[in-house]
Amino acid sequence: MKPVSEFIDEIYRCMRCGACTSVCPVYAVIQREPAVARGRLRLIREYLDGRQELTPKMRNYLDLCLGCRACAENCPPGVNTDRIIRAARAKFAANKGQPLVRHLLLRGVMNRPERFSKVLNQVKLVRNTGLSRLLPRTVNLRVNMLPPLPRQTFRDRLAGLSFKRGGKKVGFFLSCMDNNVFPQVIEASIKVLEKHGFEVAIPGDTVCCGVAHRNYGDLEGARQLAVQNIRAFASLPVDVILTDCASCGSTLQEYWELLAGEPEEEAAAGFARKVTDISQFLAGVLAPGDNPVDAVVTYHDPCHMSRYQKIKEAPRKLLTNVPGVRFVEMAEADRCCGGGGTFNIFHYQLSMEILNRKLDNAGRTGAGILSTSCPSCRIQLMHGIKRRNLSMEVLHPAEILAKSYGKAP
């Protein structure tokens, strides 16, 4: 991954035209120049030219970036703002370290699957016992962002599950959030894949994909996770590695960049070429069941799906081909919902204001099901729906497709 200093020529390509101001979800709410791509690039340029220090205020403006890539996609000279922001955050991390809470999350929780699950179990305990009411309001709001948590993670149940044998074998990467919060998505994905004649292989020793570590500049932590995941799949004789999480998919596909110049660079490139989203994979072999799913459905494009992986049509193909589904496209379907991984934890109120526009658009469709392909987006959308007391369910496309086969045996 290139250091921020190597982006200087690209930074100077910014024409300050303001195209980014019309598409940035954060700028639409707070209307401050340093909180949009044009302003952030100016701050980074001033730092590289020696006229700006790495101050806490500058870091705050860099952290206000959701990483949705709307600015990069709409930039006339094609400046890759998201990559430059990540590189600047890495410079901050190298020079100033991480803020304490973020450091604890990245290096003490999110890099250890078993510890991540234990922390979520503590959250569940605090909520179930009513202790969350004793927490400060700002903390309580964040604790209650998580939907009801399952009794067991998918990983805990993995050893006791029997998988269909025979057919072409495909690898499956366990997303941290689906494993811990939405195991039913993994179950539905396996059901659909097996219905299409595939044998699913899931390594038990994968870890977090490293999306948060990379985004916040903890490149060493991200590399350690990447190497472990590559090794976990190395012994599997598969040509395809599937994921049901848009954020994981885009991160796994960029391991080649993260490990450029490292001993594992070649292995990372080979690994990345195998990774694809389950919707994209199924769109090429789609065979829906005969069981009608009587529902009006709309779809929210996760940024890591539509802008990073350039996948838009595949999930819509899955949904529109399910018998009984009446698909209605929402306005601004690819506009960020404000979740941004951990963005809604560190910038809760701002993320809720960004979310309101998404829910307004979804509500106008009259849909009873809001579908999306990212567990982070799903958590954000479910929290907003609960806050506004809307009559709407959030499901992954694979869950809706699985319904067309009837109940699982």
Task: Report the pLDDT value the prediction gives residue 409, as an integer from 0 to 100.
Answer: 38
Question: In sequence order, which residues have a C-beta less than 8 Å from that of residue 199 and are 6 or more positions away?
Answer: 163, 164, 165, 166, 167, 168, 169, 170
The answer to whether 307 and 335 are in contact (CB under 8 A) is no
Closest CA to 353 of 368, 332, 337, 366: 337
**Statement to judge: residues 259 and 161 lie in one domain:** yes
* Domain contains 290: no
CATH of the domain at 352: 3.40.50
For the chain, how many helices (H) and strands (E)?
24, 8
Task: Report the pLDDT value the prediction gives residue 163, as an integer from 0 to 100.
Answer: 82
The answer to whether 180 and 117 are in contact (CB under 8 A) is yes
Tokens of 326: 């009446």
User: How far is CA 20 from each of CA 7, 159, 174, 358, 376, rounded to the nearest angstrom?
Assistant: 19, 48, 34, 19, 24
Q: pLDDT 10s per residue in the chain (409 long)?
A: 788 999 999 999 998 999 999 999 999 999 999 999 999 999 999 999 999 898 999 999 999 999 999 999 999 999 999 999 999 999 999 999 999 989 999 999 999 999 999 988 888 888 888 777 767 777 777 778 888 899 899 998 887 777 888 889 999 999 999 999 999 999 999 999 999 999 999 998 999 999 999 999 999 999 999 999 999 999 899 999 999 999 999 999 999 999 999 999 999 999 999 999 999 999 999 999 999 999 999 999 999 999 999 999 999 999 999 999 999 999 999 999 999 888 898 899 999 999 999 999 999 999 999 999 999 999 999 999 999 999 999 999 999 999 999 864 3
Range of the domain at 365: 295-403
* Domain contains 254: yes
* Domain contains 36: yes
Count: domains in the chain: 4
**Statement to judge: residues 354 and 310 lie in one domain:** yes
**Statement to judge: residues 268 and 340 lie in one domain:** no
Task: Report the pLDDT value the prediction gives residue 408, as an integer from 0 to 100.
Answer: 47
Q: What does pTM read for this prediction?
A: 0.94
**Statement to judge: residues 117 and 29 lie in one domain:** no
**Statement to judge: residues 256 and 327 lie in one domain:** no
End-of-domain residue from the set 263, 283, 303: 283
**Statement to judge: residues 268 and 306 lie in one domain:** no
**Statement to judge: residues 87 and 128 lie in one domain:** no
Task: Report the pLDDT value the prediction gives residue 144, as an integer from 0 to 100.
Answer: 82
* Domain contains 394: yes
**Statement to judge: residues 271 and 180 lie in one domain:** yes
User: How far is CA 130 from each of CA 94, 124, 127, 148, 180, rounded to the nearest angstrom?
Assistant: 40, 10, 5, 14, 21
End-of-domain residue from the set 75, 95, 115: 95
Please give the helix or strand (H or E) that residue 29 lies within, else none. helix 25-30
* Domain contains 408: no
**Statement to judge: residues 126 and 226 lie in one domain:** no
Long-range contacts of 106-112 (CB under 8 A, 24+ apart): 106/212, 106/213, 106/216, 106/218, 106/221, 107/218, 107/221, 110/176, 110/208, 110/212, 110/213, 111/207, 111/208, 111/213, 111/221, 111/224, 111/225, 112/207
Question: In sequence order, which residues have a C-beta less than 8 Å from that of residue 296 and are 6 or more positions away?
Answer: 325, 326, 327, 328, 365, 366, 367, 368, 369
End-to-end, the C-alpha distance of the chain in Å comes to 46
CA dihedral over 105, 108, 111, 115, signed as positive or negative: negative
CATH of the domain at 30: 1.10.1060.10
Phi, psi for residue 276 in degrees, rounded to 5: -150, 155
End-of-domain residue from the set 238, 256, 283: 283
* Domain contains 37: yes
* Domain contains 39: yes
**Statement to judge: residues 24 and 90 lie in one domain:** yes
| Integer Cα distance of 335 and 362 in angstroms | 11
**Statement to judge: residues 247 and 320 lie in one domain:** no
Closest CA to 90 of 213, 211, 1, 218: 218
Tokens of 110: 């999110």
**Statement to judge: residues 195 and 220 lie in one domain:** yes
Task: Report the pLDDT value the prediction gives residue 407, as an integer from 0 to 100.
Answer: 66
In the three-class reduction of DSSP (H, G, I as helix; E, B as strand; rest coil), residue 155 is classed as helix
* Domain contains 267: yes
